[in-house]
Amino acid sequence: MLKNSEFIDKLRSSGLRPTKQRLKICEVLFNRDKTFHFTINDLAKIISAKLNEKISLATIYNTVHAFKNKGYLKEISINSDKSYFDTNITNHHHFFDEDTNQLIDCNKGDIETINIKNNITGKKINSVEVLIKVASDNQNQK
Amino acid sequence: MLKNSEFIDKLRSSGLRPTKQRLKICEVLFNRDKTFHFTINDLAKIISAKLNEKISLATIYNTVHAFKNKGYLKEISINSDKSYFDTNITNHHHFFDEDTNQLIDCNKGDIETINIKNNITGKKINSVEVLIKVASDNQNQK
DNA sequence: ACATATATTATAATTATTCTAAACTATTGA
DNA sequence: TCAATAGTTTAGAATAATTATAATATATGT
Ligand SMILES: [Mn+2]
Ligand SMILES: [Mn+2]
Ligand SMILES: [Zn+2]
Ligand SMILES: [Zn+2]
């Protein structure tokens, strides 16, 4: 459970002014035990359910992108409908449950380190991500 | 170089009527030596550049989705802007060149087989895909 | 408190994609 | 052969996620 003043320091230290809106969003995103995977719409719903004041959708987009640019969030590509964001900014892989549309972190041990033997000439590797799509075992396909 | 009659058979065998539009799209997509990675917009541009008659955008969407559902194309998630499609329907992984926005197939040998040690209980694995994002080596970040 | 840079907001614009419903076409079988 | 039918194409409208605009509000340094 981080305190408000800790979020203020965090924001200031990355050149972001600690506004009321950003602090609320920090609370929602970072006062958690576990990784939080969310879409902008998920976040907007949580905010409007929990808060007395409301935050405009534009601000939610702006803030999430600012946090991503500062390295406090990662963006995950699952499908082309919408963006997913992730409070776990370490290198890690995902399960995606196609029944529930939930992203789940792979733990170290779920999957071995990926070893890239040949890279494209003249390019450097920025990220390596594995996405494992899963669905109900006992069911027929659509 | 497949013949028109081969595409007709392929379409008929999967319950798709071999229309003029579908056959043209088959030619563009499948008369190639190498894997073709494309967006709907890429395909629409190629069609309108190469063809005398034009195919409506709705038909291009319909056809690409029909081919995907029949297993003749795969859809690849890179970012949330748009969908990428792939004429290589085998299990394989990708490099994504962030400088050019090009998808490139990993060859067997570029990367070891991914071994999933722990799966989510009660779920079956539908796909495992690795995406390696690369960019220029000798350049500063944006 | 003042000046300035930044941030928030409502709203409009953009883009990819899907939907609709009318016109068209491939297939089937009488 | 040809009408009936089911499937397909199409233009255009609708939807949904995201980004842009520009006016208002706020945070910060002096
Ligand atoms: Mn994006
Ligand atoms: Mn979209
Ligand atoms: Zn994660
Ligand atoms: Zn590929």
pLDDT digits 0-9 by tens, A110-129: 998 899 999 999 999 999 99
Same domain, B51 and B5: yes
Question: In whole angstroms, what is the distance from residue B10 CA to residue B16 CA?
Answer: 9
Identify whether residues B17 and B80 lie together within a single domain: yes
What range defines the domain where residue B95 resides? 91-142
How much is the pLDDT for A73?
98
- Residues A12, A2: Cα–Cα separation, whole Å: 15
pLDDT band (50, 70, 90) for residue A141: very low
The nucleotide closest to B17 (CA, C1' atoms) = C26
Same domain, yes or no: A113 and A65: no
Distance from CA of residue B34 to its chain's centroid?
12
Within residues 28-47 of protein chain A, the ones with CB less than 7 A from nucleic strand D are 39-41
pLDDT of residue A137: 79
Under DSSP, the state recorded for B56 is -
Q: Which residue type sits at B94?
A: H
Distance A76 CA to ligand 3 centre (A): 8
A69 and A98 in a single domain? The answer is no
Per-residue pLDDT tens digits of chain B, which is 142 residues long = 788 999 999 999 999 999 999 999 999 999 999 999 999 999 999 999 987 779 999 999 999 999 999 999 999 999 878 999 999 999 999 999 998 889 999 998 899 889 999 999 999 999 999 999 999 976 544 3
Q: Which of B115, B131, B134 sits opposite A129 (nearest CB)?
A: B131
Chain A within 8 Å of B2 (Cβ-Cβ)? no
| CA separation for the pair A126, A140 (Å, rounded) | 38
- What pLDDT score was predicted for residue A3? 82
Structural contact between residues B135 and B97, judged by C-beta atoms closer than 8 angstroms: yes
Min distance A3 CA to chain B CA atoms (Å): 33
The pLDDT of residue A40 is above 80: yes
Q: What is the distance in angstroms measured between the alpha-carbon CA of A5 and the sugar C1' of D29? A: 20
Q: Do A48 and A1 reside in the same domain of the chain?
A: yes
User: Which one-letter amino acid corresponds to residue A24?
Assistant: K
Burial class (CB in 10 A: 0-12, 13-18, 19+), A103: buried
Decide: helix, strand or coil at residue B130: strand
Pick from B104, B109, B128: which is nearest to A117 by CB?
B109
Mean pLDDT of A38-48: 96
Q: Are residues B85 and B101 in the same domain?
A: no
Q: Is the CB of B12 under 7 A from strand D?
A: no
pLDDT of residue A140: 45
